[in-house]
Amino acid sequence: MGYAELHQFTQSVFIKMGCSEADALQAAGVLLAADLSGVDSHGVARLEGYVCLWEAGRINVQPDIKIIHESPSTATIDGDAGLGLVVAPFAMKTAIEKAKIAGTGWVAVQNSNHFGIAGIHAKMALAEDMIGLSMTNASALVAPTFSRERMLGTNPIAVAIPSGEEPPFVADMATTTVANGKLEILQRAEKEAPIGWVQNAYGQGTNDAAILKEGGALLPLGSDREHSSHKGYALGSIVDIFSAVLSGAAYGPWAPPFPAYVPLPQNPPGKGLGHFFGAMRIDAFRPASDFKENMDLWIRRFRKAQPVDAKQEVLIPGDPERLAEEHRKVHGIPLVPKVCQSLQALAKRFDIGDSGFLN
């Protein structure tokens, strides 16, 4: 599937939902950044999910996104229940503008929705010679250490760091051992999950990749207590608190679910999903050229670290996604039949004419 056609189609769907041209363009670009970088679970496969949330009245396509609290280096933003795909870039831009003057900028967001992959927002800082940070809470699928209850989302953290001649360092990770998308891939292939990825409703480790449908939970990074799952639990908690307690969004088990058919948790202590963004100007710490030269040295030294197996060199965070992007820009984005069908249904429903490429 060619990227340009898929982008045009996605933008058309957002326009049919009632988004402005500009918002639809941005939302399509952010959503498809996932497909381009190989994170198929978070891209156009979710387009139908966003439409369902809109139909359920949980997404406001004409949001009045605004700053409700600020200081020289901070802001809190009310996303007005808009698409996270639009709210997040607004918030990250705000962080960058703050950083231009104050050296750093930090923005907490309440009342938002899912924002796609975390990395795309963090990467906005790179062109400004800034380090970018991005995180979000999400609906509860993860059990804390010692618990059998789902209390946290997969709560990703992304950090993008500029370099000189080398490609930038871009880490983008769920704070769980694996994200839910990896389980979905195993389910489709009818394969088992390794022990350490999920537990059942009683809190016992299991190989069942479909256990979340039966009250199971994802495990925090670290997998079990002996391998320090309490650290993954702490990281996911920090993301939840920065994104939602600091901003006034719904946190922990009250975070709103992505599937529109799942009822909203009752009596949430805040509004919608929460995000947290940061931008740090490199030259607020040292001259940017010095930093970039040293980042190049850092990257080259780590790439040459002695490998366990000569056939697999050490990777720098961001390598796999960048390679996927280079390949997919040329060769197109592979879509599984189920995703193609969901897009065809959207084309029919919204009467989008130029969708022959989906057949």
Q: Is 247 an interacting residue with respect to a copy of itself (CB under 8 A)?
A: yes
Instruction: Write b or e for each residue in 249-259: b if 16 or more Cβ atoms lie within 10 A of its Cβ, otherwise e.
Output: bbbbebbbbbe
Q: Is 214 an interacting residue with respect to a copy of itself (CB under 8 A)?
A: no
**Distance in angstroms (rounded) separating the CA atoms of residues 334 and 80:** 34
Among 2, 55, 66, 69, binds a copy of itself (CB under 8 A): 69
Q: Which is nearer to a copy of itself, 314 or 345 (CB)?
A: 314
Q: Is 101 an interacting residue with respect to a copy of itself (CB under 8 A)?
A: yes
Contact pattern from residue 31 through residue 50 relative to a copy of itself, giving x for each residue in contact according to CB under 8 A and a dash for the rest: --------------------
Q: Which is nearer to a copy of itself, 6 or 246 (CB)?
A: 246
- ∠ Cα 71 156 274 (to 5°): 45
Nearest distance from C-beta of residue 222 to a copy of itself, angstroms: 6
Among 151, 186, 339, 358, binds a copy of itself (CB under 8 A): 151
> Which three-class secondary structure state does DSSP give residue 42?
helix
Q: Is 207 an interacting residue with respect to a copy of itself (CB under 8 A)?
A: no
Nearest residue to 139 via CA among 276, 217, 255 = 255
Q: Is 282 an interacting residue with respect to a copy of itself (CB under 8 A)?
A: yes
**Alpha-carbon torsion (81, 34, 258, 125), positive or negative:** negative
Q: Find the part of the chain contacting a copy of itself (CB under 8 A) among 1-9, 81-89, 184-192, 304-312.
A: 304-312
Q: Within positions 313 to 352, which residues make up the interface with a copy of itself, using CB under 8 A?
A: 313-315, 317
Q: Which is nearer to a copy of itself, 33 or 99 (CB)?
A: 99
Which tokens in the block code for residue 336? 């599984």
Nearest residue to 341 via CA among 62, 4, 28, 45 = 45
Q: Is 113 an interacting residue with respect to a copy of itself (CB under 8 A)?
A: no
Q: Find the part of the chain contacting a copy of itself (CB under 8 A) among 81-89, 104-112, 325-333, 348-356.
A: 104-112
**Distance in angstroms (rounded) separating the CA atoms of residues 205 and 91:** 39
Q: Are 278 and 255 in contact (CB under 8 A)?
A: no
Among 63, 84, 252, 256, binds a copy of itself (CB under 8 A): 252
Nearest distance from C-beta of residue 141 to a copy of itself, angstroms: 14
Q: Is 8 an interacting residue with respect to a copy of itself (CB under 8 A)?
A: no
**Distance in angstroms (rounded) separating the CA atoms of residues 169 and 287:** 18
In this structure, how many other beta carbons lie within 10 angstroms of the beta carbon of residue 286? 10
